[in-house]
A and B are shown apart, each in its own frame.
Chain A
Amino acid sequence: MNRFNKIFAYSSVFLISLCLLVVFLLAFRAIPFGADTMDVGHFYLEDAAKSTGSANIVTAVVLGFRGFDTLGEVMVLFLGAVGLGLVLSSQKDSTHSPAKTFPSLILKTMADLVFPFIVLFGIYIFMHGHISPGGGFPAGAVLASGYLLLFLSQRGGYHIRLAQRVETGSGLVFVIVGLAGLYFSGFFLHNFLPVGRLGSLYSAGIIPVLYSLIGIKVGAELGGIIYRLFGE
């Protein structure tokens, strides 16, 4: 592509992006920053504590009021992992070249020391999803970062088959819990466990159960993704 074509191409793309920017800014003039435009939001804020028992209202929305979206989201992540597994699974060309660097002694020692704390932290996050910020998804990411540390230090010992069972198993239990809600109360993903005292660990019905499942599932899933990308 000669110089003139290049300038033309880049500047037209730049202009398109600029136009988009301007259009969006104009469109959002109708939504003043900081104004209260809530409609269903008010209901969720007032009702969350009472009907779901979760002190973290975002959790109440994610796993209570809009639980079905979360099921879809869990499925999307599952799809990403399965799709990645499918794409990377051809044996024809080996894209995996053996590691050219070896982990230093510091990395290996600290990885062994730090890993249990990372896992503990991850478990803490998903267990307290209904009391403090966090929940299953960040917890899964933290768990996976622990696994990543293991891979980086070439510790080995990650059982991909077990991870896959855990991943799909927790997904199945999630669906079963939802169906149980259907059975006991007539609505899918309805809260059928006792709501408990607001702010205590044993509260919010099925929400900590669901978040625990999600945390384990996401951790296993992301770990599997990292495992496959490392080309083991």
Chain B
Amino acid sequence: MDLVRSLYYLGAFLLIGIGFYAVLGKKNLIKVIMGLSLIDNGINLLFIAIGYVRHHTAPIITSQISDTSLMVDPVPQALVLTAIVIELSVLALALALAVKVFAVHKTLNLNKIKGLKW
């Protein structure tokens, strides 16, 4: 397995793995939300890494670059645009809920909040 070439994949999966660990293992509500954010960032990196084609350039036609056969895949970039916005919405809602949970329980510790145990 050529590790150097798959460095981007490795990085993306490390982010996803760390995020996943945070979601499952952390006690603080905000850290769980940060774990979700990490997972999302890892996935976005993964998408971009998939679209990359060796030695090709960004898919924007300018006066210097107009050969479209030497461009990277534009679709994953479009997908990431959408995914970022979707994940932003989820995060905003999660933070709003965390604010309210804190207001009710005065703590962010999952162990102390009865309703949030798995």
Bound together: yes
Contact present for A33 and B5 (CB under 8 Å): yes
B49: nearest chain-A partner, CB-CB:
A33
The residue on A at minimum CB distance from B89 is A80
Q: Is B54's beta carbon under 8 Å from chain A?
A: yes
A57 touches B71 (CB 8 A): yes
A25 touches B5 (CB 8 A): no
Chain B nearest CB from A10 CB (Å) reads: 6
Complex contacts, A61 vs chain B, CB 8 Å: 74-75, 77-78
Q: Are A137 and B85 in contact (CB under 8 A)?
A: yes
Please tell me if the beta carbons of A60 and B74 are within 8 angstroms of each other in the complex.
yes
Residues in A neighbouring B71, C-beta threshold 8 A: 45, 57
- Other-chain residue from A36, A56, A88, A137 in contact with B53 (beta carbon distance below 8 A): A36
> Does A83 lie at the interface of the complex (its beta carbon under 8 Å from any beta carbon of B)?
yes
Choice from A21, A57, A95 contacting B61 with Cβ under 8 Å? A57
Complex Cα–Cα for A34 and B16 (A): 21
CB contact list, B87-118 vs A, under 8 A: 88-90, 92-93, 95-97, 99-100, 102-104
Taking the closest CB of chain A, its distance from the CB of B60, in whole angstroms, is 5
Establish whether residues A69 and B82, one from each chain, have CB atoms under 8 Å apart when the complex forms.
yes
The distance in angstroms between the C-alpha atoms of A197 and B110, with both chains bound, is 58
Chain A residues whose CB sits within 8 angstroms of the CB of B8 once the complex forms? 33
Task: Kindly identify which residue among B25, B69, B96 contacts A83, using a CB–CB cutoff of 8 Å.
Answer: B96
A31 within 8 A of B: yes
CB contacts (< 8 Å) of B1 on chain A: these are: 25, 29
Write out the residue numbers on chain A whose beta carbons fall within 8 Å of the beta carbon of B103: 93, 95
Mask for B64-89, Cβ within 8 A of A = 1, else 0? 00001101011101100110111011
A93 cross-chain contacts in B, Cβ below 8 A: 103-104
Q: Which residues of B contact A66 (CB under 8 A)?
A: 75, 78
Q: Is the interface of B mostly helix, strand, loop or mixed?
A: helix
Please tell me which stretch of A11-19, A118-126, A151-159, A175-183 contacts chain B, meaning at least 4 of its Cβ atoms lie within 8 angstroms of it. A11-19
Is B53 in contact with A20, judged by CB distance below 8 angstroms?
A: no
Q: Which residues of B contact A132 (CB under 8 A)?
A: 60
| Other-chain residue from A9, A21, A58, A80 in contact with B74 (beta carbon distance below 8 A) | A58
By a CB distance below 8 angstroms, the chain B residues around A34 are 5, 52-54
Residue from B6, B86, B96 within 8 A of A88 (CB atoms)? B96
Besides the known contacts A24-B9, A72-B82, A80-B93, 13 further A-B residue pairs in the complex with CB atoms under 8 A apart: A13-B24, A28-B6, A34-B54, A45-B68, A80-B88, A83-B89, A83-B92, A83-B93, A87-B97, A87-B100, A95-B103, A132-B60, A133-B60
Residues in chain A within 8 A of chain B (CB atoms): 9-10, 13-14, 16-18, 20-21, 24-25, 28-29, 31-38, 40-42, 44-46, 48-49, 55-58, 60-62, 66, 69-70, 72-73, 76-77, 79-81, 83-84, 87-88, 90, 93, 95, 132-133, 135, 137, 198-199, 218, 225, 228-229
